[in-house]
Chain A
Amino acid sequence: MRTLLIGGGHSAYFAANSLREIDPQGKLIIIEFTSEKVDVLSKTFPYAEVIRQEIDGVEDYIRVNWNILDAVIAATESDSLNLRYCKVAKESTIPLAISIINNPLNSAIFRDEGIAHIINPYSLIPVELSEILGAGINVLFKSEKTRVLAISIKISNERLLLELMRELSRSRDASAIFVSPSGEITTSIEEASLGGIGYLIGSKERIGKFLRIARR
């Protein structure tokens, strides 16, 4: 895979490392705006081609090289630039236009502009906090691509346990494991106990139904 990564900050650093692990043979091109950072990036990622470009020049680069790029990842410190570059990548029919956003409030704006792949680096904070603080409901993972959702639900009362039992028994698109208050793990809801936690994974629609039951 040939990936163009734009930016030289924290997000780009983690993206470059991840790409190396996911696709060790892949070609990585990094674009940065300042020559100082280009030098640092060249030393940090010797397997990547690091290029310096002006802000407007990045768009020209994408347009010229569209036919050799499989993905563009916009990871600059400005969401305005990320939006611009993703839109150009999309217009240039590059298969994947991905943005690592700085401000989660921009997710909706990017989606409205047709950018489907948005990475919010802060999305783990509420998940981890909910897990540590023992929140009643926690959305652990959601995939826009496969429409899979994973959640945890604290089984706080008999009604909830019975409803989950009934719903799970007729679900073909969800499965679960349960952890008792003493830490025992089981895949059988019959063995689930009050005060324990259920981890459920399945289709967005089915898990959405479980969420509604738990929130009742």
Chain B
Amino acid sequence: MEISVIFPTKNREYHVKRAVRTAFKAKRVHEVIVVDGGSRDRTIELAKKEGAKVIVQSDLVYPGKGVAMRDGAYLARGDVLVYLDVDIKNMTPEFIEKLAEPVINGEAEFVKGCFERASGRVTELVAKPLLRMFYPELSRFKQPLSGEIAGLRKLFYKVEFERGWGVDVGLLIDLYKLGAKIAERDIGYKDHDMKPLHALTDMAYEVAGAILRRAIRDRKIDSQWAEEYLKEIGKVDLGLESGGGFV
């Protein structure tokens, strides 16, 4: 089984070279894909120089990473996809190997990476409470918003990617609903810059929106009540008309 490693990037010239080089050193990695969100620095140039396949995400207006993740999956040719943040300072080939191992061995079809450090604020205050309410079977995941994931490429083609920050929890719920075998794998310590609190507001809304849209779709909430009540709260796009969820 061949692995495609995918890095969503934007203005990451200080990290991309090392990340691509590290990814190519991991076992079974046959391609590294950088999906860029419109960098104004040398991210694209450096990624190409290191041998990565590069594409700019199809939708530049949307600032989140969901479109980049989808485009990465669509460009990839490997049997297994591994997604990683490009700015993990202590990234090693073993990160990739550990994430992909359960998929390669057939123990899982989709793997969520988790780390030794404490979960983030959006995870603890938004994602976990909502998952406990609507998808208690997924509350066992320590880091449901982790962007470090691995899975069978063909599985990613069966679900719709949220466009923004709700993509990670959206994939978790949708792949669970599809009946995929899901595992969580501890991949050690992650040295990574934390976002400042004010930068988490949009992320929190999008994560909440992604979970609530699915709860409505899966009839865990009365859609009429949800529409009326949650529209009063504002900002959360319920996407009731477009549906959301499976392709």
Q: Whose C-beta in chain A lies nearest to the C-beta of B58? A: A102
Task: Choose, from B67-75, B113-121, B178-186, B212-220, the stretch at the interface.
Answer: B67-75
For chain A, residues 61 to 78, give those with C-beta under 8 angstroms from any C-beta of chain B. 77-78
With A and B bound together, what is the CA distance between A81 and B67 in angstroms?
13
In the complex, chain A residues whose CB is within 8 Å of the CB of B56: 79, 103, 105-106, 109
Alpha-carbon distance A84/B35, docked complex (angstroms): 14
Q: Counting CB contacts under 8 A, is B157 at the interface?
A: yes
| B143 close to chain A: CB less than 8 A | no
* A-contact 0/1 string along B36-54, CB 8 Å cutoff: 0010000000000000001
B75 closest partner in A (C-beta): A80
Complex: chain B residue closest to A102, CB-CB? B58
Residues of A within 8 A of B75 (CB): 80-81, 83-84
**In the complex, which residues of chain A have a beta carbon less than 8 angstroms from the beta carbon of B57?**
79, 103
B233 within 8 A of A: no
Q: Within 8 Å CB of B155, what residues of A?
A: none
On chain B, the number of residues with a Cβ less than 8 Å from chain A's Cβ atoms is: 18
B59 at interface (Cβ–Cβ under 8 A)?
yes
Dominant secondary structure at the A interface = helix
User: Which of A33, A55, A78, A84 has a CB less than 8 Å from the CB of B58?
Assistant: A78
In whole angstroms, how far apart are the Cα atoms of A80 and B55 in the complex?
7
Question: Residue B247 contacts which of A34, A79, A81, A105 (CB distance < 8 angstroms)?
Answer: A34
Q: Does B60 contact A (CB under 8 A)?
A: yes
> Known contacts being A103-B59, A105-B56, is A79 close to B71, with CB within 8 Å?
yes
Residues of B within 8 A of A102 (CB): 58-59
A18-43 interface with B by 8 A CB criterion: 33-34
Is there contact, CB below 8 Å, between B55 and A109?
yes
Interface string of B69-90 (1 = CB under 8 A from A): 0111111000000000000000
- Give A residues with C-beta under 8 Å from B: 33-34, 54-56, 77-81, 83-84, 102-103, 105-106, 109
12 examples of A-B residue contacts, CB within 8 angstroms: A55-B157, A77-B58, A78-B71, A79-B56, A79-B57, A81-B75, A83-B75, A84-B74, A102-B59, A109-B54, A109-B55, A109-B56
Additional 7 contacts, C-beta under 8 A, given A54-B157, A79-B58, A80-B71: A55-B157, A56-B154, A79-B57, A80-B75, A81-B74, A84-B75, A103-B57
